[in-house]
Amino acid sequence: MFRKLRIAILLYILAFAAVGNYLAAARSTDWNNTLWIDVYPINADGSERTQAYIDGLSDADFAAIEDYFAREARRYGVTLENPFRLELAEQVENPVPVLPSSAGFVDAVIWSLKMRWYGAKVKRESDRPSPDIQLFALYFDDTDVQVLDRSTALERGLIAVAKVFASGVNAGSNQVVMAHELLHTLGSTDKYALGTNLPLYPHGFADPAAEPRYPQAKAELMAGRVPLDPQTAKTPHSLSETLIGPMTATEIGWLPVK
pLDDT digit string, tens, across residues 175-192: 999 999 999 999 999 999
Closest to 167 measured CA to CA, from 142, 138, 148:
142
pLDDT digit string, tens, across residues 225-238: 999 999 999 999 99
Q: What is the pLDDT at residue 146?
A: 76
pLDDT digit string, tens, across residues 140-173: 999 887 788 889 998 778 999 999 999 999 999 9
Number of C-beta neighbours around residue 195 at 10 A: 6
Q: Which residues pair with 220 in a beta bridge?
A: 243
Beta strands in the chain (DSSP E): 35-43, 84-88, 133-140, 152-154, 159-165, 219-220, 226-229, 232-234, 242-243
**Least confident stretch, 77-91, 141-155, 191-205, 239-253:** 141-155
Does residue 149 sit in the same domain as residue 211?
A: no
Q: What is the pLDDT at residue 158?
A: 95
Confidence of residue 21 (pLDDT cuts 50, 70, 90): low
Does residue 149 sit in the same domain as residue 223?
A: no
Which of 186, 211, 226 is the C-terminal boundary of a domain?
Answer: 186
Does residue 131 sit in the same domain as residue 18?
A: yes
Question: pTM of the entire structure?
Answer: 0.90
How many domains would you assign to the chain? Answer: 2
Is the distance from CB of 198 to CB of 233 less than 8 angstroms?
yes
Which of 142, 171, 186 is the C-terminal boundary of a domain?
Answer: 186
In this predicted structure, the answer to whether residue 210 has a pLDDT above a threshold of 60 is yes
Does residue 132 sit in the same domain as residue 157?
A: yes
| Residues of the domain holding 196 | 188-258
Q: What is the pLDDT at residue 14?
A: 55
**Residue 226 CB-half CA count within 13 A:** 17
Which of 135, 163, 186 is the C-terminal boundary of a domain?
Answer: 186
Does residue 144 sit in the same domain as residue 198?
A: no
